[in-house]
Structure 1
Amino acid sequence: MDPVRGSKLIRLDTFDTAVAVNPSAEDDAKRRFMTLILQTPYRSDGNIGQVLRATNTSGEVFAVKLLKDNAILSDQMPDRSAEQAAAHLANTAALFEEYRHLCTVSHLRGFPRVYGYGSCEDDPLILMEWVEGTSLKQALPLLPHDASGGLTTQMVAAVGNAVLRALLMTQGLVTPVVHRDLSPANIMFRTTSRTLEQQIADCSFDPCLIDMGSATMALGDDTITRRADIWRFATPAYAAPEMLTQDIEGIAALRRSPAIDVYALSSILYQLYSGRKPFDVESTGAAATGSFYLIKTKTKPAPLEPRCNDDEALVQIIMKGISVEQCDRPTEQQMLEVLSSYLPTAESKDSEGMGNETAVDIDTGTHLTVDVAAERAQEILEQAQRDTMTRRRFIIGGVAAAVAGLGVIGAATHGFGIPDYLDGIRSSLDDYTWDQLQEISLKIKAAESRSEAREIAKRYHLLDDDGHIPYPCTKRVTLTNGLQVGAQLVGIRHDELLDGTGKAGLTFMFDAGIAERDAATQALNAGWADCELREWLDSDGLKLLPSELRALIKEVKKISNNVGAANSASCLSELPATLWLPAMVELYGNQPPESFTEDFHYLADIYNGEGKEYQLFRELKVSPYTTNETMVRQWKGKDTCWWERTVSPDTSESEGTLYMNRVGHDGDVFTYATPAEKPNKRTCVIPGFCI
């Protein structure tokens, strides 16, 4: 950092935009985002990060979130001890977890926009909107106060209403988000459109909830906790008690509830109304004894007395919000209804009906000119607003637009000539019969080299000109139970045939569930070989396939943990398979031992030994460290968990039963393992096969 000018020029080594970028706009994105001037004014943003103001070469202002122990602002790489290096790795994982939550709520009013994730000098960073405004903490002295020392009743209601409207905006998403660290410092009032004075006069605020470092999805698992040995905490003065401990039964589920945000907001409103916090944790010695949880569960806050009879309902909802038990707290919608009654009519009407049916309020920010092709931006935005789109569909919409455009060109030219057509070449996978695909598979299998096999696949349009599997690349299949699914090409010459004649030419996996089943009918102290689900795949599962496909499937060799509890790769052995479930390594590739905590490095040998990553998932950059949109699968129209054949050797040992891994509802391929016979959520079967 230049001490005189107070700024530093940096060039990012890598940068991925938060939404799909049209290939023609990639150079513009790099010019816009990859050369930045960091400036000294910054905001502290959580326990692990700091946020700096930055500009690009065009003068656009951004916020850059860095780890506090970053190397970017120093003149040399930090000399980290082994313990510090491990902590840095965990913080890097936590920063990426924050990024994926930011991506989920970006484009919703009430949250900062996020532009992408990158690295500089091997340190990670998030590039997002620099929110011009004032935090609630800074604004408190400027807000109208009552003679009692707290804010006026109407002002308390206005602040609460603004925050609740932002929180409820996420309820329209497929996977709602829980902030989990609401505090006066993390509630900003934007001042780009209206000054703070105007917002006070209107009794209507323009909020932006910042610092998503403790956020989580309301559905699914806190996977980052288990993988990186991180346990997220929150600001003690406002945090719900379940955010201040990890030693009570069912804590993981409790920490994913929106009731956490209700508690924190109620604590803030308590302070705004009375002028004091519900629990004075700073002066009780809790910081020294680590007893924040005990203070909030074993003692009661001072009663909040209404200043007049009209304030009774407001005070009651605030006090209910700081109940110890989540079931005793009001919902966000219930709080909103009470607070809205204290506001001017226009603001109250604006808040009516903001439950799960509320249209998602998409922010039309200027960043769309780079995020998607300019000529498509407005069309996609309007479609998003009409359909109450989630961020997931907003992203997919941008990709689909580009694919659709290519499809029109392909339809006009057919992508090949009449001689090719007569030679059995079709424009896409879905245009072939299964018999034709078997002939292509045999040609690929017989190729003298891998490069020759790839050229054959290119000729039949199963690979694009760059040798990549087109995505999506599926052939529709109608199962004997009436369900329609897609058979997705995932690999070329990948799996070893059981008969020893080489590798199968083509490998497929279904793109949706073909059934919903437990992996075992009873508790097991064994491995995948003894699972009832494996037997089902080779019998009743196979019978779900149409006869013309079933007759062509080849048996292959699959490596699995067939022991269960284990601490070395000696638990692995080969089994024959017709229909088979994927292993974790086949979805996301090898994990280094260092990605696990020190006592569990052996997990890398076991998991990595079950196979190799399929080409499609490698090209889609499926990550074991976060959720993956491309791995989200459905059962009867709803996002679902789906089984892997990968046994969890550590949890199987500690629990005395067989625990199986699976892909989460959100596409996390390394989510919590679950008992094979009693999963905590119904789990789908999405197998693969070779021809």
Structure 2
Amino acid sequence: MAGAIRNQFNLVGNTVNSGTAGGVEEGAAGGGSAGTDSATVQTAVAKDARDWTLDEQKVVAEDIAEKGESSPVYAKAKAAMDASTTWSVKLTNGEAMTYRIIGINHDDLADGTGKAGLTFLITSTNILSRMNATYTNAGGWEKSEVRQKMNSGEIWNLMPSDFQSKVKSVRKLTNNVGGDSVNKDAAVTATSDRLFLLSYSEIVPTSYWASSNPWTSSEGTQYEAFKGKVTENYSVNACLKIGSSWWERSVNPSNSYYFLNVDSSGDPTYADYAGYSYCVCLAWCF
């Protein structure tokens, strides 16, 4: 399951659209809302979700975190998630980053105050990176070069300041030891992250390696957007296809030099050398 796909695709236009498609070492936590802006919530309720601004997305997330399904905007956010509605933000390099909702009240805030209302995942392919400078998965996600770039380095710095100020740090579970047979019973540990990659178990309903490598079932649970759509744990899933391969934060269970990625056909068990460059489909929470 090796091979590197390094094709760069045309950048996505800086428009808002709708469709279906497939830390800081310990960053500062966002904290829960002490009461959301009701006027902004009502504005969001009245608008088509695809037209929500960044400010409205944040307030919607906080209202859902506070009120759950009782939030007046919950149904609209869920419908946007189910329809794979996308938004766009302009990065500091002038390129566009498109993204969609994949989770509702799914991720735990790093400060322990509750859930983050919405989790987002990018759908564009113009952010590329290797996982590490060398061909190793030792230390897993926690010690990876890409994690440092995403939480305080060059990838984080691509995000505009208005976006950065809204992101909440969340608690992510990962095998932060490494792959290979000597680590088949590795325990997962938590990191605090502002931007993160998805794990294998956050994508699939069950782990292909559940019996041989139990930790592959314990790096978080499947996001709501994938339920009923991502059904294959070791094969193609159409809704995961974005036109290129994209990294997961999970190490390959079978060796000490690969990380898992979702290949261009939508298989979440593809793997490649940590030193190769693939798309970074970063995720975050408001």
TM superposition score category, shorter chain reference? 0.7 to 0.9
Which position in structure 1 is the counterpart of 2:78? 463
Aligned counterpart in structure 2 of residue 435 of structure 1, from 19, 41, 55: 55
Indicate conservation of the 8 Å contact 1:430/1:475, yes or no.
yes
RMSD: 2.6
Paired amino acid for 1:546 = P
1:477 maps to which residue? Answer: 89
State the Cα deviation string for residues 439-484 of structure 1 (Å, max 9, x = none).
111111112xx4435x6411xx2123xxx83322111122122222
Which residue pairs with 2:70 in the alignment?
Answer: 452
Residues 606, 421 of structure 1: alpha-carbon distance in 2 compared, 3 angstrom cutoff: closer
Distance (whole Å) between structure 2 residues aligned to residue 684 and residue 421 of structure 1: 34
CA contact (8 A) 2:150 2:195 kept: yes
Conserved? CA contact 1:569–1:609, under 8 Å: no
User: Are 1:529 and 2:142 counterparts?
Assistant: yes
CA distance in 1 between counterparts of 2:125 and 2:53 reads 22
Counterpart residue number, 1:627? 236
Residue in 1 aligned with 2:197? 581
Counterpart among 472, 489, 500 of residue 101 in structure 2: 489
Could you say if the C-alpha distance between residues 684 and 616 of structure 1 is closer, same or farther in structure 2, counting changes exceeding 3 Å? same
Identify the structure with bigger relative contact order (alpha carbons < 8 Å, sequence gap 6+).
2
What is residue 185 of structure 2 aligned with on the other side? 568
Aligned to 2:273: 675
Structure 1 Cα separation of the partners of residues 40 and 165 of structure 2: 27
Please report how far the alpha carbon of residue 649 of structure 1 lies from its aligned counterpart in structure 2 after TM superposition. 2.9
Alignment of 1:16-35 (within 5 A): none
Name the CA distance, whole Å, in 1 between partners of 2:206 and 2:173.
Answer: 15
- Cα deviation digits, residues 24-45 of structure 1 (max 9, x gap): xxxxxxxxxxxxxxxxxxxxxx
Cα distance in 2 for partners of 1:619, 1:480 equals: 36
- Any idea what SS the aligned residue of 1:507 has? strand
1:643 corresponds to which residue? Answer: 247
| 1:429–1:475 CA contact under 8 A, matched in 2 | no
User: Following the alignment from structure 2 to structure 1, what is the Cα–Cα distance between the partners of residues 215 and 128?
Assistant: 27
Cα distance between partner residues in 2 of 1:552 and 1:420 = 15
Q: How does 1:9-88 map to 2 (within 5 A)?
A: none
Distance 1:584 1:493 in 2: 19
Partner of 2:157: 543
> In the comparison of the two structures, how many residue pairs are matched?
249
Q: Could you tell me which of 604, 610, 613 is aligned with 2:222? A: 613
User: What is the correspondence of 1:492-531 to structure 2 with a 5 Å cutoff?
Assistant: 492-524=104-136, 525-531=138-144
Q: With structure 1 as the length reference, what TM-score do the two structures score?
A: 0.34
Q: Is the 8 A contact 1:429 1:474 kept in 2?
A: no
Q: Is the 8 A contact 2:249 2:260 kept in 1?
A: yes
Structure 2 runs not aligned, ≥5 long: 4-18, 21-38
The 1:675–1:622 alpha-carbon spacing in structure 2 relative to 1, beyond 3 Å, is same
User: Which residue identity is paired with 1:675?
Assistant: Y
Tell me which residue corresponds to 1:70: none
Which segments of 5 or more consecutive residues in structure 1 lack a partner in the other structure? 1-220, 222-251, 254-399, 402-418, 634-638, 653-657
Measured against aligned partners, the alpha-carbon deviations of 1:293-341 in whole angstroms (never above 9, x if no partner) come to: xxxxxxxxxxxxxxxxxxxxxxxxxxxxxxxxxxxxxxxxxxxxxxxxx
Matches of 2:218 and 2:249, distance apart in 1: 13
Q: Give how far 1:520 is off.
A: 0.4
Matches within 5 A, 1:203-214: none
Inter-partner Cα distance in structure 1 for 2:40 and 2:155: 37
Higher helix share: 1
Distance of 2:147 and 2:265 partners within structure 1: 25
Aligned residues of 2:41 and 2:59 also touching (Cα < 8 A): no
Normalised to the residue count of structure 2, the TM-score between the two structures is 0.79
Cα-to-partner distance string for 1:404-426 (whole Å, 9 max, x where unaligned): xxxxxxxxxxxxxxx99964424
Quote how far apart the aligned CAs of 1:619 are: 3.9
